[in-house]
Amino acid sequence: MDLLALEAKKTNGAEPEKKPAPRPKPKPQKKAKRIVYFEVEIVDLKTKEKLLLLDKVEPTSTVLDIKALFHKSYPKWYPARQSLRLDPKAKCLRDEEVLQTLPVGTTASFYFSDLGPQLTWGTVFLAECLGPLILYLMFYFRLPFIYSPKYDFTSSKHWVVHLACMCHSFHYIKRILETLFVHRISHGTMPLRNIFKNCGYYWCSAAWMAYYINHPLYTTPFYEQQQVNTGLYIFLFCQIGNFSIHVALRNLKPPVKKIPYPTKNPFTWIFWLVSCPNYTYELGSWIGFTVMTQCVPVAFFTIVAFIQMTVWAKGKHRSYIKEFRDYPTLRSSILPFIL
């Protein structure tokens, strides 16, 4: 009896067996999203001839990707030379536009046109600046066949002539250095044929100004040193301002576009009133150069430059307003409260 009682006591004091924890049910695997590929047809804009059919183009492909695929089949038409549009009369598509965001179905037709041989904008800017710099110095040193032989390799007796050469050279050397080290050029290339028009304008204008300023019969400004000093101060002030604006624009970090605002640099405070103060300062520089030299060709060049820069500034101003809903309403294009 004692043995049975002892065994019963041991059995009652034993711990109950632990049941295994239930295993978590495996999560159902998500079905992979089905990619809807596009079929892209490229048609010649002029002849309406089908040039290429691209099958299974990913919807996230950009216009630049499509240009690269087109380039593989037609090596002579590199991407910078291609213009693609959705309609023969529509604007050219930007390289960064994405295929799936365009107003097309899964079958898209692009109209191709050849833009011709291209040059990088950096090359164009350097050519535009080197020409005036060299041409002006040729007139300043009075190389043969420019003026009368008795004036060959002679120098002017007027101090303002030497000052004008220094200012003109400084302006274009500054532009060359900015092209190399400061500017972020948004447009990759421009047609080769345009360089002759651009360089012709800048080179001929510089030669025209230099011919009269360095002419042996050149006369000094009416108000003499006072007028020269005033023009020089305006020129230098605006050159520093122009450089300050270029640096401020350079510091707007891509890829997200931002509204340019004034910085701690006082020369950038004009951003409160003007969308393109780099053009405002550029205009001021040439006004100062005109006052300093009192030369009609310089004044004419300043007027033409002002008209062209106004066109560029208005276009930039409109794009700012279109792109940014909170763009400051107080700003003008190039001249505060006026234009």
Residue 251 identity (one-letter amino acid): N
What pLDDT, on the 0 to 100 scale, is given for residue 4? 47
Which among 238, 239, 135, 124 has a CA at the least distance from the CA of 188?
124
Domains of the chain and any CATH numbers: 38-116 (3.10.20.90), 117-212 (no CATH), 220-339 (no CATH)
Q: Are 235 and 303 in contact (CB under 8 A)?
A: no
Q: What percent of the chain has pLDDT over 70?
A: 88
Indicate if the pLDDT at residue 92 is higher than 90: no
**255 preceded by a cis bond (ω within 30 of 0):** yes
- Evaluate if residue 12 carries a pLDDT over 60: no
Q: Could you tell me which of 55, 57, 33, 53 has the C-alpha nearest to residue 43?
A: 53
**Surface-to-core class of residue 323, CB atoms within 10 Å of its CB (0-12 exposed, 13-18 middle, 19+ buried):** exposed
Q: Is 181 helix (H, G, I), strand (E, B) or coil?
A: helix
Q: How confident is the model at residue 31 (pLDDT cuts 50, 70, 90)?
A: low
Question: Shortest CA distance to 151 belongs to which of 142, 161, 162?
Answer: 142
Would you state the pLDDT for residue 20? 61
For tokens 């004034």, the residue is 262
**Hey, what's the torsion of the CAs at 237, 240, 242, 247, to 10 degrees?**
-160
Identify the three-state secondary structure at position 39. strand
Q: What's the mean pLDDT in 75-101?
A: 88
Mean pLDDT of the region 90-103: 86
Q: Which amino acid is at 172?
A: Y
Let me know: does 234 contact 291? Beta carbons within 8 Å: yes
Q: Which residue has the tokens 């999203």?
A: 33
Please, what is the end-to-end C-alpha distance for the chain in angstroms?
117
Confidence of residue 267 (pLDDT cuts 50, 70, 90): very high
pLDDT tens sequence across 189-222? 888 888 888 899 999 999 999 999 999 999 999 9
The number of beta carbons lying within 10 Å of the beta carbon of residue 193 is 10
Range 94-113 average pLDDT: 87
CA distance linking residue 162 with residue 148, whole number of Å: 20
Distance CA 150, CA 242 (A): 40
Strands (E), 8-117: 38-44, 50-57, 82-85, 107-114
Dig out the tokens for 224 from the structure. Answer: 């003499």
Tokens describing residue 89: 């009369």
Q: Which residue has the tokens 């950096």?
A: 122
Rounded Cα–Cα distance for residues 324 and 302 (Å): 32
Distances (CA, A) of 327 to 70, 259, 261, 272, 333: 39, 7, 10, 11, 13
Return phi, psi of residue 57, to 5°. Answer: -90, 130
Distance from C-alpha of 138 to C-alpha of 150, rounded to nearest angstrom? 16
* Cβ pair 273, 337 in contact under 8 A: yes
Please give the single-letter amino acid code of residue 14: A
Tell me, what's the pLDDT at 252? 85
